[in-house]
Amino acid sequence: MPISELNEAFTRAVIHAARRGILQDVIRRYSPIWTTEFTQAVAKRKQARREYLKSKTTTNSKQYNALCRRAKKIGQVARTKEWRRAFEI
């Protein structure tokens, strides 16, 4: 078999395997709970975590924990609102 035919067969096999193995329709889904308020809360939480890891003081720890609670609460409220809106409870 000539090299060009082997190369063509190999190329077809690789392309076929890639099409079967790589998901074509993986698209990041829109999250209706991800509001600007939630985005800001998560950003503040991340910043507080960085500050806490730099200097592990009681003040930084309390601030980080408070921002974690706030971000969690905002997410819970947003999820509840979305479920109620989706199912009109």
Structure tokens at 7: 């190369």
Is 29 strand, coil or helix?
Answer: coil
Residue-wise pLDDT for 54-69, tens only, equals 999 999 999 999 999 9
C-alpha 52/C-alpha 56 separation (Å) is 5
* Residues in contact with 34: Cβ distance below 8 Å, sequence separation at least 6, in sequence order: 78
- Number of domains into which the chain is organized: 1
Determine the Cα–Cα distance for residues 36 and 56; give it in Å rounded to an integer: 29
8 A C-beta contact, residue 45 and residue 66: no
pLDDT digits (tens, 9 = 90+) for 22-49: 765 555 566 767 888 999 999 999 999 9
Domain that holds residue 60: 3-87
Q: What percent of the chain has pLDDT over 70?
A: 85
pTM: 0.61
